[in-house]
Amino acid sequence: MYKSCLNRPKTRWAGVVILAGLFLFSCKTSKKVTVTKDMKTRLDNLLATVPDFSGVLLVADQGKIVYHKAWGYRSFETKESMDTASVFELASVSKQFTALTIMQMKEAGKLSFDDPIDKYLPGLPYTGVTIRHLLTHTSGLPDYQEIMDKYWNKTKVAGNTDNIAYLIQYHPPRLFEPGEKYAYSNTGYMLLASITEKVSGQDFITFCRTRFFGPAQMTQTDIRTVAEKKQLPNLAAGHIYVKEKQQYVPADSFPQFNYAIWLGNRKGPGRVSSTSADLLKWDRILYSGKIVKPETLLEAFSPTRLNDDSLSWYGFGWKIRQSKKGKVVWHNGDNPGYATQFERYIDADKTIILLSNNAHPKIPDILQSVEAIVEE
């Protein structure tokens, strides 16, 4: 379901889980793709009953699209119709790409998941934090955006170097000891992107283009500035509903959007924009072993053991849950005007991609209903 599964009951897992997972990766058998008219009709009816929903839904079985439709508008002002080729801001769905830059560096022998972060980012006043803590949101680091919002000159555009400098200068206190608990952290993923740049010697955006978007032939996917996104002819612009006006208004006309401008050069926590079709290409290449080895990816799809021996159901850039069809790895994204969800049923090889440019309040209900249909 759409809600977080990070507080699921504790389960036992050990090396046998890794071995079982590797077996599934290497021995996945071909299953017949069954698409019923009833499934398509039910999905049609589901979205047709949600007033004002704007976005794209894609459902795939073993990489074959069984449902792919668009609703609403790319722009509520011009009434330009949405289509399945529209580009959306992915928000935190972007975190999987950041995590994979680190996984590639680990496979290349250039770092370890358990390296302390001050090995690569000296001067940060937070001891005991490892790369693994950043990947799994268990670092206890404070929110860099809060400190930037308080002190940064917003007539300028900040990037990771500025964010790190302000964390060092103002030294906001840590939230808890590393590994003590899970707490979602954009700071951690901002730092991961900077570690990738330090270790690889390559700009993070260039790294993602050459290592991920290019090999997967994701021709509509990139890490774009606000200005670059506005130049896209097929951009699905984010919108927010204003009750007083009884209409959707561009998200960039609201103050809460402004951080996307003055933090416009940040890398790691978000900023990837893409299409549903490109995300399906990404889904497929992840099964191929061409991005990282299956055993490395399996670690990203495994829960995290905390200091008290309990489990957090977040791996490396992916949330984790169990379904009727086996393990599901997923992530949601939330930016002003956008709500996104990418779900991969890695045992059953099914995929759900839902992208909305009006952050419709019924998104959780839509996802729950789509999941129920897919899991039958």
The pLDDT score that the predictor gives to residue 8 is 38
Residue with tokens 């021996």: 309
CB 326 within 8 A of CB 345: yes
The pLDDT score that the predictor gives to residue 35 is 55
The pLDDT score that the predictor gives to residue 259 is 87
pLDDT digits (tens, 9 = 90+) for 143-195: 999 999 999 999 999 999 999 999 999 999 999 999 999 999 999 999 999 99
The pLDDT score that the predictor gives to residue 255 is 79
pLDDT digits (tens, 9 = 90+) for 115-153: 999 999 999 999 999 999 999 999 999 999 999 999 999
The pLDDT score that the predictor gives to residue 334 is 95
Phi, then psi, of 54 in degrees rounded to 5:
-130, 120
Q: Provide the percentage of residues in the chain whose pLDDT is more than 70.
A: 90
| Token code pair at residue 237 | 């612009």
| Token code pair at residue 170 | 């103002």
The pLDDT score that the predictor gives to residue 36 is 63
CB 53 within 8 A of CB 361: no
* 276 a catalytic residue: no
Q: Residue 245 class from Cβ within 10 Å (0-12 exposed, 13-18 middle, 19+ buried)? A: exposed
pLDDT digits (tens, 9 = 90+) for 1-10: 333 333 333 3
The catalytic position among 92, 200, 323, 356 is: 92
DSSP state, residue 119: G
In angstroms, the CA 45 to CA 15 distance is 44
Where the chain has pLDDT below 50, the residues are 1-30
pTM attached to this predicted model: 0.89
The pLDDT score that the predictor gives to residue 131 is 98
Parallel/antiparallel/unpaired status of strands 55-61 and 239-242: unpaired
Phi, then psi, of 247 in degrees rounded to 5:
-160, 165
| Token code pair at residue 267 | 């890398």
